[in-house]
Amino acid sequence: MTNKEKARERREKRMQEISLLRTIPYSDRQRWWSCENVAVVTGSNRGIGFEIARQLASHGLTVVLTARNVDAGLEAVNSLRNQEGLRVDFHQLDVSDSSSIKEFACWIKQTFGGLDILVNNAGVNYNLGSDNSVEFAETVISINYQGTKNMIKAMIPLMRPSPQGARIVNVSSRLGRVNGRRNRLANVELREKLSNPDLLTEELIDRTVSKFIDQVKDKTWESGGWPQTFTDYSMSKLAVNGYTRLVAKELLRRQEGEKIYVNSFCPGWVKTAMTGYAGNMSPEDAADTGVWLSMVLSEEAVTGKFFAERREINF
């Protein structure tokens, strides 16, 4: 058996375990939430985001589904309400538009008074298969990284204090690992800075992303030592992973009762529109880790970590 076949066998076995775990209901002791708790899932009219919203609502939370396109968002909400009887609301949101984020924040405050869970799922990728175009690199960075960062900044003041702590879950990718065996940055010094919690800053992350965009514009990016696979998408997720660790560290200073746990996870290669439906995992299985991170008990909760298939992996 080849290494690739062994890896596939391990993944399939783990997916079977997760499918089983999802059938086990949460006990009364584990259920810290009720329908009074509000979860916001960005970009959730289809794919992984839709499934995260559906699973959270199925567990009894009130879920706010968001989408750029109003018709698509309303159609998704109506299917969850009418077909499954779930507590789901909709509001239009474009995470690449600061005014849209501001309007959404005002609506959340007026409608619910705040939120308990934020899942940053909204994202784009314009490459399929072996493609590696950077034609839309600015859009990819704007939505995947800057949109996630700006949503976190806008929602933190609205996250409700509780003994269990609020949750922020960022949908990311193994392609954005700083120290992955493949697809990593060539610049060793930069990798070390991005890996070191004492050296990691928002300015460093932004400067790294800006340098990549500048090289895209002057057409020198191919010799810049950037990740080789889905370069723009990988850079956006590398930035998301870095910002996850940074904001988690900043929020650790909060006192008990005002904690916010921040983590990211890789859903895998999923059968969605983003992969041209060529993935090897269903949206139901892919959503599981994000849902689990949103609801895990506070005494078991961690922060500033990266997960896949309910297991911590390296950034």
Considering the domain boundaries, does residue 28 fall inside one? no
CA distances from 185 to 182, 224, 243 (A): 9, 9, 17
Please report where in the chains the tokens 């949101």 appear, as a residue: 93
Confidence of residue 27 (pLDDT cuts 50, 70, 90): confident
Confidence of residue 275 (pLDDT cuts 50, 70, 90): low
Interatomic CA distance for residues 216 and 224, integer angstroms: 10
Confidence of residue 278 (pLDDT cuts 50, 70, 90): low
- Report the SS3 class of residue 315: coil
For residue 279, give the nearest of 48, 122, 56, 23 by alpha carbon.
Answer: 48
Considering the domain boundaries, does residue 137 fall inside one? yes
Q: What is the pTM of this model?
A: 0.94
Query: What is the rounded average pLDDT of the residues 108-129?
Result: 96
What's the helix, strand, coil split of the chain in %, to 5? 50, 15, 40
Interatomic CA distance for residues 118 and 157, integer angstroms: 12
Query: What is the rounded average pLDDT of the residues 84-104?
Result: 98
135, with CB counted inside 10 A (0-12, 13-18, 19+), is: exposed
Interatomic CA distance for residues 43 and 49, integer angstroms: 6
Q: What is the dihedral of CA 275, 151, 183, 174, to 10 degrees?
A: -70
CATH code, domain carrying 143: 3.40.50.720
Mean of the per-residue pLDDT values for the chain?
A: 93
**Which residues 6+ apart lie within 8 Å of 306 measured at CB?**
172, 177, 241, 244, 263, 264, 265, 266, 312, 313, 314, 315
Q: Is 147 in contact with 68 (CB distance < 8 Å)?
A: no
Interatomic CA distance for residues 45 and 117, integer angstroms: 18
Considering the domain boundaries, does residue 183 fall inside one? no
Confidence of residue 16 (pLDDT cuts 50, 70, 90): confident
Structural domains counted in the chain: 1
pLDDT for residue 270 is more than 90: no
Considering the domain boundaries, does residue 287 fall inside one? yes
**Which residue out of 145, 233, 243, 261 is catalytically annotated?**
233
Q: Is 231 in contact with 134 (CB distance < 8 Å)?
A: yes
Interatomic CA distance for residues 309 and 181, integer angstroms: 19
Distance of CA 138 to the CA centre of its chain: 19
Considering the domain boundaries, does residue 190 fall inside one? no
Domain around 275 = 35-175+255-312
Dig out the tokens for 13 from the structure: 């076995």
Considering the domain boundaries, does residue 263 fall inside one? yes
Active site residue 233: yes
Considering the domain boundaries, does residue 213 fall inside one? no
pLDDT, residue 244, reads 98
Query: Between β-strands 306-308 and 311-313, what pairing exists: parallel, antiparallel or unpaired?
Result: antiparallel
pLDDT for residue 65 is more than 80: yes
Q: In this prediction, what percent of the chain has a pLDDT beyond 70?
A: 96
Give the number of other Cβ atoms within 10 Å of residue 268's Cβ: 20
Distance of CA 144 to the CA centre of its chain: 9
Considering the domain boundaries, does residue 40 fall inside one? yes
